[in-house]
Amino acid sequence: MIQDKVTVVVHGISTIDEIPELKMSPGGTTIRCSSDLETLRDALPGAEALLAWDFQARELKGAWDCADQLKWVQWGGTGVDAALFPEFADSDVVLTNMGGIFDRAMAEYVLGLILAFAKDFPETYNAQREYRWFYRFTNRIENSKVLIIGAGGIGRTIGRLLRAVGCHVSGVARTERPGDDAFVFTHSINNLDQALTDADYVVVTAPLTEETKGFFGAKQFAEMKQSSYFINIGRGALVDEPELIKALQTQQIAGAALDVFQTEPLPRDNPLWNLKNVIVSPHMSGDYHEHRSAMANLFLDNLARYKNNEQLLNQVDKTLGFVPRKKS
């Protein structure tokens, strides 16, 4: 049954002018904007859909008792850990994410980080600032072994890009799988420690769930080669940060590139800022100049589907915390 009228709350903006594409919403759509908890509580009563524009916003939990007619939430990111508080997770409200919007950008970011380590770009920048003519050999990335922990859309896009430049890429997922276009082989998470021993680069893209929180710690760093690098673009809480710092300070691993942290922004007194073998970036690996328009257009596509009672794109399994991969 086609719905003629739908009320949508967009949380994270003050006016619709902040997302110009929403002015192209299908006819019969009423949009209410909210910028904080108080305005969200005012906007939710009677609304059927919510666009959570800020993927890190946690106000929905505090306004949940006002969501008297809510049927669908479009989350503003790929990771939905900030959304899955118990009341929402246990409800019949459908949750969709922005899967696919950030995959290529994050893959290019990881490729750039691997190249930065292999070609020693940080030291080149330092030498330039210090007027040092510092000639040395660097490494090639062809035939390097990359282990990607997380075999969803982002991990698989990274795998395809790295294989295209000659890397030997394996994945880690919940279950073991044979090779495909993204990975030469996919290990079970139960065999993670063994898979780590051969990797030159370890890339974490896994979603944050109760099962994955803090899963990468001292034991896993101990399994890595001393010459290997650790890259995290998933969530900071996936990693035992003090153990990561220890592994870096003692040169148990060669270095790390970190786009996510347990506390964001990263506090000024965190040792990661001053470690020479660390690249710190402010949770930006997936963001690019056109990503907000892409997010808005994906939402509009789903809104049209919702009004026409069609299957929504990127529907999250709330018991898992991510969009299940379709079996080929």
CA 15 to chain centroid, in Å, comes to 27
**Please, are residues 148 and 158 in contact by the beta-carbon 8 Å criterion?**
yes
Active site residue 264: yes
Tokens of 78: 């790929």
Q: At what angle do helices 103-118 and 153-164 cross, to 10 degrees?
A: 50
Q: Which of 264, 290, 310, 325 is catalytic?
A: 264
Local structure of residue 283 (DSSP, 8 states): S
**Residue 314 neighbours by CB under 8 Å, 6+ apart:** 96, 97, 98, 99, 100, 298, 302, 323
* Dihedral sign from CA coordinates of 144, 150, 156, 158: negative
- The rounded distance, in Å, linking the Cα atoms of 171 and 168 is 10
Active site residue 11: no
Q: Which of 11, 168, 187, 283 is catalytic?
A: 283
- Residue holding tokens 């153990």? 243
Active site residue 283: yes
- The rounded distance, in Å, linking the Cα atoms of 40 and 9 is 8
CA distances from 222 to 225, 252, 269 (A): 8, 7, 26
- The rounded distance, in Å, linking the Cα atoms of 73 and 200 is 39
Q: Which of 156, 235, 241, 243 is catalytic?
A: 235
Enzyme catalytic residues: 235, 264, 283
